[in-house]
A and B are shown apart, each in its own frame.
Chain A
Amino acid sequence: MVGTRILAVEDDERIRAAVKLALEDEGWTVDEAASGEEAAILFLRQPADVVLIDIMLPGIDGFELCRTIRRSSDVPIVMVTARADTHDVVAGLEAGADDYLTKPFAPKELSARIRALLRRARPAHPAHPKLIFGDLEIIPDEGKVLRSGTELHLTKTEFRLLCELAQNPGRVFSREHLLDHVWGYGYFGDGRLVDVHIRRLRTKVESDSANPRHVVTVRGLGYRLQA
């Protein structure tokens, strides 16, 4: 993964410098931004492979920056929150983040998360070139999803999640399984990652996301994809 570019958005100068040093040790190129505005401009000029955003930013905050980037890009986003048990996590994921870390985190943890996202950004090779679920059409090799012939814009994580569910139609996938296969988390991954991403996925693949037909919840067990 040499040549990988990471955009780190953090207002604390010394944290930014130290994180940059640690990430550069992994062989990655790191661009820095001290504010949401700066990051938005920089990202337009120089798209990154992964964006790291601190939620607490002066000016436009991390959530807003997330949404701004999401409007034009499916780049994996890791956000940094103050607490894991507040509304912040869910709000950040709903704003478009793919994963999160809680301050203070070890840089090793951060690079592990980034590696998992990068791995995920390059889709695996499925058995079937084309999968059809009613009005849904999935073409894994091209990273494309169509609903009634119209192409949908899914983020890389949403696409991986859909492909994982599509691998075995009708089978129920537990949150643990999805966390492991899509995010690379073990037993202690946060189930909310799955729940929020499923919700986001439904707003795109379902014609009525309040009454999902394709991505179905199986109470107490997990999720299932059906035609």
Chain B
Amino acid sequence: MIESPAPKARSMRSDGPSRRWHIRPMGLRSRILLTFGLGSLALSLFLALATFNFTRSNLVDERTGSAIDQTYANASRLAVDLQSNPTNIQTVLERLGADRPLVYFRGTWTGNDARFSSSVIPPSLLNAVLQNRQPTTMRIEVDNELVLAVGVPIDSVDAAYFEFPSVDDVRSTLNSVNLALILAAGITTLLGIVLGAIAASRAVRPLTAASQAAQAIAGGRLDTRLAETEDPDLAVLTSSFNDMASALQLRVERDTRFTSDVSHELRSPLMTLAASVEVMQARRDEMPERAQVALDLLVADVARFQGLVEDLLEISRFDAGGIRLNVDELLVGEFVRQAVAISSAPDTRILVAEIAEEMMIKGDRRRLARVVANLIDNGRAYGGGELEVSVFVPDDEDPPSQIWITVEDHGPGVPQDERDLIFERFARGSIAGRRSGSEGAGLGLALVDEHIKLHRGRVWVEDRLDGQDGACFIIELPAERV
């Protein structure tokens, strides 16, 4: 009811120029899920990055500190040695016993590891140590090994001393930390999504209940209500939904009662009319010719009026849900013969398949007879030619579980797009012109549909089964072999 305008609005929008950019709106459940997922991903990434940086700076600072201390100590020992033995630097370096040393003294570079020559030292470090005479540290990578480049100027002999302690073990530690953090972030995100799914389904649960209730109401159970809730956020929805349902129920009941009251009120004058017309009809021969014509019109329309009021009463009973079926077990072949015999065309040809004589249906014989009579009336009014009624088991089903009762005519048939429409109340009005004739109140087929549904069957119309021109109305009812 409330939803009905929505598809229209959507289709209008998608027809517009912005159609290419139109993204289907996301459902509440997906939005909650996405929020939780993205939220937990962002949070875990932030935590992981913070942890990683903190760990790294701690580890690196510690290593840098000790490396600098070591280099300083080595540099001051080197200063002393270079003063006493300035020519044989190689020997001095060997005596120093330092790890990967490199000395700049009097314009030449001396080291004991070929990999760590002056070329690996970044220019900025070189500049800071040699020009600005500032002790400086820098992390560099040499042959895939992470090392600290520590440079200390030795002012007393105008030299500079460099050391390259490895910090590769720090890198592998950091790598493991990194891996652990990525794993943790992934798990946290997954947990966030799971949590989001739970939250989403909890959040959507009241909506599911509401939509089920709305469906029940649309299906005719007007007394459906949502259960009262303690939740203040939901209480508003619950109470307004229930108010709406009550208002709807009141409205529908009032309409139903109105139809029922009107038809009941119509019955009394109709009784008088029917009885009076019958008295007049008994004296038809004594009347002048013009009065006879008028009487015939009166008789025909009193009968039509009577049929209409009976149909209205029956339909208002359906609406009020007050139909009580008088169910009997009926042999379908015998039943159809009897029903046709009391219809408006008792001489209609009837074909009953042999098996149909042994098929039993459970139903209200007088209501089902009305169904057959209505289909025959309909065929006479809108069809044409001889009517045929057939009773058989569809598709030679074995064992048979249903029976078809068909009423066929030789008229123009029913166009495809009107085949559902003609079972609606007073449908004749909307498709007038194509279905000729003034007979029939427009309720007959609607009643057929309601009655057959009540008997857990189906009724529909298609082209004649033998391929000739004409309509074929088919009633399908559950049945069993005796």
Cβ–Cβ contact A108 & B270, under 8 A? no
* Complex interface residues of chain B between 308 and 358 (CB less than 8 A to chain A): 309-310, 313, 317, 322-326, 328-329, 334-335, 338, 342
- Give the interface SS of chain B, mostly helix, strand, loop or mixed: helix
Binds B, one of A42-50, A142-150, A182-190: A182-190
Q: Which residues of B contact A187 (CB under 8 A)?
A: 334-335, 338, 365
The CA of A104 and the CA of B306, in the complex, are separated in Å by: 7
Determine whether B30 belongs to the interface, using a CB cutoff of 8 Å to chain A: no
In the complex formed, the residue of A with least CB distance to B367 is A85
Query: B-facing mask of A67-95, CB < 8 A → 1, else 0?
Result: 00000000000000011111000000000
Chain B residues with CB under 8 Å of A58's CB are none
The interface residues of chain B lying within 8 Å CB-to-CB of A86 are 322, 324
Contact present for A104 and B271 (CB under 8 Å): yes
The reply to whether A107 and B278 form a contact with Cβ atoms under 8 Å apart is yes
Indicate whether A85 sits within 8 Å of B326 (C-beta atoms), given known contacts A15-B272, A103-B267.
Answer: yes
Q: Which of A173-208 contact B (CB under 8 A)?
A: 186-188, 190-192
Contact status of A22 and B338, CB under 8 A, knowing A14-B272, A188-B366:
no
A19 nearest in chain B by CB position: B275
> Which of A19, A82, A86 is most buried by chain B, counting CB atoms within 10 A of its CB?
A19
Residues in A with CB closer than 8 Å to B271 are 12, 15, 18-19, 103-105
Closest to A20 in B: B275
A residues less than 8 Å from B317 (CB atoms): 83, 85
Kindly name the residue among B274, B310, B323, B342 whose own CB sees the greatest number of chain A CB atoms within 10 A: B274
- Nearest to A24 among chain B residues (CB) is B279
Q: Given the known inter-chain contacts A85-B326, A188-B342, please indicate yes or no for A18 contacting B275, CB distance below 8 A.
A: yes
Contact B272 A106 (CB under 8 A): no
Of B270, B282, B335, the residue contacting A104 (CB under 8 A) is: B270
Say if the beta carbon of B264 comes within 8 Å of chain A: yes
Q: Can you name the residue of chain B whose Cβ is closest to the Cβ of A192?
A: B326
Chain B CB within 8 A of A227 CB: no
Using CB atoms, name the residue of chain B closest to A11: B268
Contact B276 A106 (CB under 8 A): no
B275 touches A12 (CB 8 A): no
B369: CB under 8 A from chain A? yes
Docked-complex contact B275 and A15, CB < 8 angstroms: yes
- Complex interface: chain A residues within 8 A of B274 (CB): 18, 104-107
- The reply on A41 being an interface residue by CB < 8 A is no
A21 is an interface residue with CB less than 8 A from chain B: yes
Give A15-34 as 1s and 0s: 1 = Cβ < 8 Å from B's Cβ atoms: 10111011001000000000
> In the complex, are the beta carbons of A108 and B309 less than 8 A apart?
no
Q: Is the CB of B369 within 8 A of A188?
A: yes
Contact in complex: A21, B275 (CB < 8 Å): yes
B276 in contact with A18 (CB, 8 Å) = yes
Q: Which residues of the partner chain B approach A21 to less than 8 Å between Cβ atoms?
A: 275-276, 279
Question: Which residues of the partner chain A approach B267 to less than 8 Å between Cβ atoms?
Answer: 82, 103-104
CA distance A12 to B366 in the complex (A): 29
Is the pair B264, A188 in contact by a Cβ cutoff of 8 Å? no
In the complex, are the beta carbons of A104 and B310 less than 8 A apart? yes
Q: Is the CB of B275 within 8 A of A85?
A: no
Question: Count of B residues near A, CB < 8 Å?
Answer: 33
CB distance from B23 to the nearest CB of A (A): 56
A18 to B272, Cβ gap below 8 A? yes
Q: Which residue of A lies closest to B370 (CB)?
A: A188
Residues on B with beta carbons closer than 8 Å to the beta carbon of A103: 267-268, 271
The listed residue (B279, B329, B369) touching A18 by CB distance below 8 A is B279
Q: Which of B256-286 contact A (CB under 8 A)?
A: 264, 267-276, 278-279, 282
Q: Is A106 a contact of B278 with CB atoms below 8 Å? A: yes
- Chain B residues with CB under 8 Å of A186's CB are 338, 342
Closest to A188 in B: B366
Q: Which residue of A lies closest to B264 (CB)?
A: A82
Q: How far is the CA of A191 from the CA of B366 in the complex (A)?
A: 11
Taking the closest CB of chain B, its distance from the CB of A115, in whole angstroms, is 16
B309 contact set on A, CB distance < 8 A: 104
Docked-complex contact A25 and B279, CB < 8 angstroms: yes
Q: Which residues of A contact B268 (CB under 8 A)?
A: 12, 14-15, 103
Whether the Cβ atoms of A191 and B272 lie closer than 8 Å is no
In Å, the complex CA distance between A194 and B264 comes to 28
Cβ contacts under 8 Å, A19 to chain B:
271, 275
State the Cβ distance, B34 to closest chain A Cβ, in Å: 56
A108 touches B328 (CB 8 A): no
Give B282 Cβ to nearest chain A Cβ, in Å.
Answer: 5
Considering only residues 94-126 of chain A, those with a C-beta below 8 Å from chain B are: 103-108
Which residues 354-400 of B have a CB within 8 angstroms of A? Answer: 365-366, 369
Query: Which of chain B's residues has its CB closest to A82's CB?
Result: B264
Most chain B CB atoms below 10 A, which of A25, A188, A192: A188
CB neighbours of A108 from chain B (8 A): 278
Kindly list chain B residues whose C-beta atoms are within 8 Å of the C-beta of A188: 338, 342, 365-366, 369
How far apart are the CA atoms of A57 and B206 in the complex, in Å? 52
**Cα(A26)–Cα(B322), bound, Å:** 37
Cα A104 to Cα B264 in complex, Å, equals 9
The answer for the CA separation of A220 and B335 in the assembled complex, in Å, is 17
When distances are taken between beta carbons in the complex, the residues of chain A under 8 Å from B279 are 18, 21-22, 25
When distances are taken between beta carbons in the complex, the residues of chain B under 8 Å from A14 are 268-269, 272
User: Is B278 within 8 A of A190, CB to CB?
Assistant: no
Contacts of A17 in B (CB 8 A): 272
Assembled-state Cα–Cα distance A56/B309 (Å): 19
Where the two chains meet, the residues of A that have a C-beta atom closer than 8 Å to any C-beta of B are 12, 14-15, 17-19, 21-22, 25, 82-86, 103-108, 186-188, 190-192, 220
Inter-chain pairs besides A15-B272, A188-B365, 14 sampled, C-beta below 8 Å: A18-B271, A18-B275, A19-B271, A21-B279, A25-B282, A85-B326, A103-B268, A104-B306, A106-B278, A186-B338, A187-B338, A188-B366, A190-B326, A191-B328
Nearest first, the 5 A-B pairs at minimum CB distance are A18-B275, A187-B338, A14-B272, A104-B270, A22-B275
Q: What are some 20 contacts across the A-B interface (CB < 8 A)?
A: A12-B272, A18-B274, A18-B275, A18-B276, A19-B271, A21-B275, A21-B279, A82-B264, A82-B267, A83-B317, A85-B317, A85-B326, A104-B270, A104-B309, A108-B278, A186-B338, A187-B365, A188-B338, A190-B326, A191-B328
